[in-house]
Amino acid sequence: MTNAPQRPQIYLLTPPQFELSRFPGELQACLDRVEVACVRLTLVTQDEDRIARAGDTLREVLHARDIALVIDSHVLLAERLGLDGVHLTDGARSVRAARKKLGDDAIVGAFCGTSTHDGMTAGEIGADYISFGPVGGALGDGKTAEKDLFQWWSEMIELPVVAEGGLSEEAIRTLSPYTDFFALGEEIWLQDDPAAALEVLSAAMG
């Protein structure tokens, strides 16, 4: 991972639910069109068997292309399924335990909303990247991750930063000089042609 201002990389999020018979093909179509650095499994189901089947299938697809696969929150499943790491959604609170469980080689990322304090704390205790968002829309407290947050982070902090949530072409152009990764999910999967939508957003990164 490298720090801005190099051209940002794409961090692709899966849909919150998908058919395992169909989605790998849609994912591969995206990977054929645009270079992707990492994929995050973000299923909303709590059915561990379903998550495990999805993880096994996507791991084969992605590791054949040398693309990392991480999973939302499920530290134990990340280890059991042989995934590359975990994305934690509770700021800095679980970082230390996840790092201890998964080891130094695993990817441990932390979503920190709009809090630079949480981001710095997560980095200090072992996170590999910090994710801020949403860029568009708002959290429950009405806050969004603004350009100033990413600009400050890129100037002051070495740790890679991810922008996610409600990303538009305009937002991507604005944040590209200050962001290492754009996490794209429903921005493309809700479109008729996800691969084409991904190409459009990728082009906006410069």
Q: Which band of pLDDT confidence, cut at 50, 70 and 90, is reported for residue 5? A: low
Distances (CA, A) of 153 to 159, 161, 169, 174: 8, 8, 21, 15
- Contact in structure between 69 and 58 (CB atoms under 8 Å): yes
Strands 9-13 and 68-72: unpaired
17-47 pLDDT, tens digit each = 999 999 999 999 999 999 999 999 999 999 9
Of 199, 155, 27, 154, the C-alpha closest to 163 is 154
Cβ atoms of residues 202 and 176 within 8 Å: no
> Quick check: pTM over 0.85?
yes
**Looking at the predicted structure, is the pLDDT value of residue 3 above 60?**
no
> CA 149 to CA 86: how far, in whole Å?
24
6 pLDDT band, cuts 50/70/90, is confident
Query: What domains sit in the chain, N to C, each tagged with a CATH number?
Result: 9-203 (3.20.20.70)
